[in-house]
Each structure stands twice: as structure tokens, then as C-alpha cells.
A and B are shown apart, each in its own frame.
Chain A
Amino acid sequence: MNARMPINEQELSERCRQQDNHARKVLYELYAGQMLGICMRYVGNREIAEDLLHDGFLKIFTSFDKFTYRGAGSLKAWMSRIMVNLSIEYLRKNDAAGQSVEIEELPDTIADTTEEDIAFIPQEVLMKFIEELPAGYRTVFNLYTFEEKSHKEIAAMLGINERTSASQLFRAKAVLAKRIKEYVRDADR
């Protein structure tokens, strides 16, 4: 029997709720790469990220009865949230989220970067810069930048104080700005 392909997010989510395997596969093919990117950005390790992706999708497919469609983008946002939560959970369990590793030669100021500088850097390279951040810096940076959490919320999530959160974000930015500048400079040579 041929099954009609779900053509929008709402229909896709509804078919996934009904445990339609074909719809599940479509959903996976559409979003798994992005979800893996999120996991990579948080844990900085491909093997662990793949495990989290696997577990995350199992969670997604078995939790569709809890999902309510609230407009375009809500499905991806819901899935992203699951992946972020799993990643944070993993980091907390491994006591990595609150780590603050001092990096030698950390600049006192954040180098000025332009939109052109950032756009110039390939996504993979930018991802690598983030992945190489110490876990504590990386976690705060991700939550602040991508999840748009406040330092108060981040502090509550990670069990640290707000000042630590702010400090780690500052350090993360300093490291990233430095590496972006270096990359651009090296490319110009």
C-alpha cells in the first residue's frame, strides 16, 4: 500500500504520533543532521553526540503524544529542546557543565569581530572552535547564545552562580573571537 507523504510539519507530527514508520523516517532524515549538530555543539565529542542523537530520537518518537503543534517551527523547536536537555543531562552527570578550565593566554578583552569575519569562516570550522571550548564555557555559551537563556536561568540549570555563568560566557567569547580573528588573519596571508 502506498502511503501519501506528509507534506507539512503538522501532518508529519500527526503521523509520527500514530507511529507511522514512514513518517518517522522522513522526520529523521529532515532533522537528524541538525539535531546531531546541536548535540555536537554541547558535548564536543562525536561519538557521544551520536549516542545522544539516537537516544534523543527514541525519546522523540515515544513522546509524540506530549507534543502539541503550535505553528511553523514548533516541531523542530520541540525536538531541539529534547536534544539540548539530553545533552545537558549528560554534561551534568559527567560534571562537565560547571567546569571552568583556565586557558593560558586568555585575552583581557574580546577582539572585535565583524559579521564578515564570522560569515567568512566555514560552519565546520566554527563548530570546531565551539567544540574545543572547555565544557563549562561551551555549555554556558550554548545556552546563552542558542537557547537565549539568561545568566539567572543558566545558573539554575547548571547549579552555578550567575557570576560564574557570566564569567564563563565572557571567557568563551574571548576565546572564540581570538580564534576567529586568527583564522581570518591566517587566511589573508
Chain B
Amino acid sequence: MSKRDDDILLEGIRKRLENYSEPLPEGSWALLEKELCPRKIPFYRSWRSWSAAAVLLACIFSLGWWLSGAFTEKGGALPVADAGSFRQQNQPLPEGFPAVAAAQGTAKVEMPLGKVARPSRSGQLLASASVAADEDAAIGDIACAEEAVAGKEEAEETFRESGKDSLAGASVVQKRNQPSGRRAWMASNTAPKRQGKRQKWSMGVSYLNMGAVKNEGLSGFHSLKEGQGGISIGQLPSHSFSTALPAEDKLMQDALLNNVGHEPPRTRYEHKMPVSTGFSFRYAFTDRFAIETGLTYTMLSSELESNSSTGVYVEEYKLHYLGIPVKGNWIFLDTKFLTMYLSAGFALEKSVSGKYERVYLSGDGENAVWNETVKPMQWSLLGNVGVQFNATERFGIYVEPGVAHYFDDGSGVQTIRTEKPTNFNLQLGLRWTY
């Protein structure tokens, strides 16, 4: 018998309280279970899953549209200087008209021939998009799966009885424990939410892209600008087909010539992939809502080429825009590693430099060049889903598949925005938050 056993007081208290049990606080197991294994929500009931699916779908759709259809899509909105129209309006063509094609004229040369008569054109556009859609799939901890048990109560009771064994014989090796735990300590290790003070300001740089549009199978002469085909019948001299016809008029003749039994001209054009880059500032009013603005630079470029049996007609323009987008953001998910939001707003873009150039190269070596400056102003409506992967608390990489609607700018210049006023796009960027 040990000394302790002799001590009635100590031994009595020890025996009295050996299996003493305190009533548990309500919901204590649920709280513990939540930390041990986050509840598994069926994917079809998880709004995160739906959001991820929507983003994934948008990305796939954008990518698919981009890769498959965009580059070979048939355009149809170009102003047409179609030989067919001339055929209808020039029925009473005189006999021997083709002889005019060989007529000598005064060439108006404003730029070297080599510059405009490109031997070849870049054939295919390359488009690539790297889209990482976070499916944010609920992690299913197999160990945490709820298991319904038949006869649970009886079995528990059985165990309860067998579990009331004494401490005798127990040999336990237990290393030093972790520091005193308060719930907050544990929470800091498990909570996925962003911690600390709300960060109000964000700054980002971005690169935006959308598909190109290409068409190689148009018949007749066409133009990238309304009324600029130069093939209006009204412009033809009344004494047409004289030998002193200026080069610019030869284009009109060309059109006419090809209306009378020659092979009709073939036109190809391409609205190249727009390039847009910029930086943005975002201010968060609350944890959920923010407003975003910034400055963007966009370049639109298109080329058109009509080949006839007697000459080549080329159009090209490059428009450089500076724009200010204004968007409202609704941040519907903000975790340590992932932020998702919806954005909607508008943008105003002003062309700060716009060169529109047309060249006609006749078969007899004469050519004509027309230069023009166009500076349209463009309004658009924007909407997108944003997914930001937070590499650190202050830095993230984001991808924003979205849609934009461009209003007619009234300039008459045919761009990808006039051909496809509502278009999908994909923006990639980096964002710093502070």
C-alpha cells in the first residue's frame, strides 16, 4: 500500500472524481468536426461548383470559339464595290471596252510600289490562351464521410461498458504538446478566409485579347470603309475609258472591266487579333463591392486585298486607341488562394492615331495611293467573370473571360468591332492589393 493510499483525503477524492464527467457544451462536437473535416457538400448543391462550372464553361466556349471559328469566320458586313453592282448599272457598255485597260495614263505615285505590293501576307494567326479555371472542387475527405450505422445505440452502449476500464496497465508515450490552444489558434491554422484588415486598393496590369476575323472568299471589290471603295459609278468620267484615265479611276475601270466577261475580282480581308493592354485601379467599398477604372491601349488593324485580272487593290488601317473603362465589381468569393468576381461597366476609347491607306496597283505598273486619318471614338459595354489566384496576400494573377458590346462609332471604318459588335474576350493580368 503506497503512502498515497494511506491518505484518506487524497485517495477518497481521487476515487470520487476518477471518472467524473462534466456536461459538454452544446455543439462542441459539431465545432470540432467542422475543423477536422469540412462538411462535404454535393457538388450540385455548391454555389462554388456552379460558379466554377460557369467560369470553366465561359473559358472553354471562348477558347473553342477563338481557336476554331474565329480565324476562318465568314465576314459579310463589308461595304461592297461588287462587280455585280456595276454589271447591273453598266449594261450599255460599248463594244471594245476592254481595250481601255491598256490605255496609258498619268500615274500618281505617293509611295514606293514595293511597300504596298506585298509579295505575301502572314497567313495564319496564332492564338493562344492559357486559361486556368479553378473548379474549386469540394475536397472530399473520405474519412469524414457520414456513415449511418444500424444498431448504433446498442453498439455504443456495449462499448461504453467495455471502455470503463481502469488506468492500470496503461503505458502511454506522449510527446510535448503544442502550445496552449485557444480556438483562435486553431482557427488561424484552418480558416481559409483572408485575414486582417480589408485591403481597399488594387492596382493591376492586364493584357486583353479576342479572336481575329478572316475571310478569303469574297467575290468582287470590297472596302474596309463605307463609301471609300472609289468605285461609285458616279465618279466615272463621262468620257470614260479614254486613254488619259488617271490611275485612281482605273480602279473603277477595273471593276467595270471585270463585269464584262473577265474573271471577277477576289477579295480577302482580315481583321487582325486586337491587342489591348493597360493598367487599372480598383477601390473596394466593402468586402464585396468595388469600382475599377484605369487606362487601356488598344490597337486594331485590318487588311484587305482585292485581286483582279488587271490590278490589285489593297486597303490597310491601324487604329490606336486610349481608353478609360469604368466597371463595378461584385466579389462573390474571397478566400486565401482564390478570388472570384463579376464585373460590369462601360468603356470610352478614343483613337489617338488612325491611318487608313488604300493602294491600287494596276497591271501596267501604275499605282495610286490614298491616305486618310480616322480618329473615331468608341463606346462599349463590358461584362466579365474574374478569377484571381492569390499567390500571396497582396499579389494575384487573374483571368477574366468576358463579353463586350461595341457601339457603332459612326466613322464608317469596318473593324472587328463593327463586324462583331458583341464579342467574347479574355483578359489576363496581375494585380497588387494594398
- A interface residues, Cβ below 8 angstroms from B: 1-9, 12, 18-22, 24-26, 28-34, 36-37, 40-41, 49-59, 61, 66-68, 70-78, 80-82, 85-86, 89-90, 93, 110, 113-115, 117-119, 121, 123, 126-127, 130, 144-146, 148, 173, 176-177, 180
Q: What 8 A-B pairs are tightest by C-beta distance, nearest first?
A: A55-B181, A5-B155, A19-B143, A77-B170, A33-B21, A118-B12, A72-B165, A3-B147
B178 interface residue, CB < 8 Å from A?
A: yes
Q: Tell me, rounded to whole Å, the shortest Cβ–Cβ distance linking A136 to chain B.
A: 17
Which residue of the partner chain, among B12, B16, B181, contacts A86 with CB atoms under 8 Å? B181
Does B144 lie within 8 Å of A56, measured CB to CB? no
Within 8 A of A (CB), among B152-201: 152, 155-156, 158-160, 162-163, 165-183, 185-186
Does B181 lie within 8 Å of A54, measured CB to CB? yes
Does A89 lie within 8 Å of B180, measured CB to CB? yes
Which residue of the partner chain, among B28, B165, B177, B185, contacts A32 with CB atoms under 8 Å? B28
The residues of A that contact B20 with a CB separation of less than 8 Å are 34, 37, 41, 123, 127
Does B22 lie within 8 Å of A36, measured CB to CB? yes
Does A176 lie within 8 Å of B170, measured CB to CB? no
Among B23, B149, B185, chain A packs the most CB atoms within 10 A around the CB of: B149
Does B149 lie within 8 Å of A77, measured CB to CB? no
* Known contacts A5-B151, A37-B17; A177 and B9 CB within 8 A of each other: yes
Which residue of the partner chain, among B10, B19, B141, B159, contacts A34 with CB atoms under 8 Å? B19
B145 interface residue, CB < 8 Å from A?
A: yes
Expressed in whole angstroms, the Cα–Cα distance for A81 and B171 within the complex equals 11
B4 interface residue, CB < 8 Å from A?
A: yes
Q: Tell me, rounded to whole Å, the shortest Cβ–Cβ distance linking B360 to chain A.
A: 78
B14 interface residue, CB < 8 Å from A?
A: yes
B1 interface residue, CB < 8 Å from A?
A: no
A116's closest neighbor in chain B, by CB?
A: B12
Q: Which of B31-39, B54-62, B111-119, B369-377 is the interface stretch?
A: B31-39
The residues of B that contact A20 with a CB separation of less than 8 Å are 143, 147
B181's closest neighbor in chain A, by CB?
A: A55
Expressed in whole angstroms, the Cα–Cα distance for A119 and B139 within the complex equals 52
**A-B Cβ contacts below 8 A, count:** 216
- B interface residues, Cβ below 8 angstroms from A: 4, 7-10, 12-14, 16-25, 28-29, 31-33, 35-37, 141, 143-152, 155-156, 158-160, 162-163, 165-183, 185-186
Further contacts, 10 of them, CB under 8 A, given A54-B186, A55-B186: A4-B155, A19-B37, A20-B143, A51-B181, A52-B181, A71-B169, A85-B177, A93-B180, A115-B12, A145-B14
B37's closest neighbor in chain A, by CB?
A: A21
Does B178 lie within 8 Å of A9, measured CB to CB? no
Expressed in whole angstroms, the Cα–Cα distance for A82 and B181 within the complex equals 12
Does A5 lie within 8 Å of B29, measured CB to CB? no
The residues of B that contact A67 with a CB separation of less than 8 Å are 172
Does B144 lie within 8 Å of A173, measured CB to CB? no
Which residue of the partner chain, among A3, A41, A80, A89, contacts B177 with CB atoms under 8 Å? A89
Among B37, B141, B168, B177, chain A packs the most CB atoms within 10 A around the CB of: B177
The residues of A that contact B156 with a CB separation of less than 8 Å are 5, 26, 29-30
16 A-B pairs with CB atoms under 8 Å apart are A2-B148, A8-B162, A9-B159, A9-B162, A19-B141, A21-B36, A33-B23, A36-B21, A37-B22, A55-B183, A56-B181, A70-B169, A70-B171, A86-B181, A93-B179, A118-B12
Does A5 lie within 8 Å of B159, measured CB to CB? yes
Does A146 lie within 8 Å of B14, measured CB to CB? yes
B180's closest neighbor in chain A, by CB?
A: A90
B177's closest neighbor in chain A, by CB?
A: A85
Does A77 lie within 8 Å of B159, measured CB to CB? no
Expressed in whole angstroms, the Cα–Cα distance for A49 and B23 within the complex equals 12
Which residue of the partner chain, among B9, B146, B159, B185, contacts A8 with CB atoms under 8 Å? B159
A50's closest neighbor in chain B, by CB?
A: B25
B176's closest neighbor in chain A, by CB?
A: A85
Q: Tell me, rounded to whole Å, the shortest Cβ–Cβ distance linking A29 to chain B.
A: 7
B185's closest neighbor in chain A, by CB?
A: A55
The residues of A that contact B146 with a CB separation of less than 8 Å are 21-22
The residues of A that contact B163 with a CB separation of less than 8 Å are 9, 12, 30-31, 75-76
Which residue of the partner chain, among B10, B24, B160, B165, contacts A76 with CB atoms under 8 Å? B165
B162's closest neighbor in chain A, by CB?
A: A8
The residues of B that contact A82 with a CB separation of less than 8 Å are 174, 177
Expressed in whole angstroms, the Cα–Cα distance for A8 and B21 within the complex equals 20
Does A115 lie within 8 Å of B144, measured CB to CB? no
The residues of B that contact A130 with a CB separation of less than 8 Å are 13, 17
Q: Tell me, rounded to whole Å, the shortest Cβ–Cβ distance linking B38 to chain A.
A: 12
Expressed in whole angstroms, the Cα–Cα distance for A56 and B32 within the complex equals 10
The residues of A that contact B147 with a CB separation of less than 8 Å are 1-3, 20-22
Which residue of the partner chain, among A30, A54, A85, A123, contacts B160 with CB atoms under 8 Å? A30
The residues of A that contact B149 with a CB separation of less than 8 Å are 2-5, 22
A6's closest neighbor in chain B, by CB?
A: B159
Q: Tell me, rounded to whole Å, the shortest Cβ–Cβ distance linking B8 to chain A.
A: 6
Expressed in whole angstroms, the Cα–Cα distance for A110 and B19 within the complex equals 26
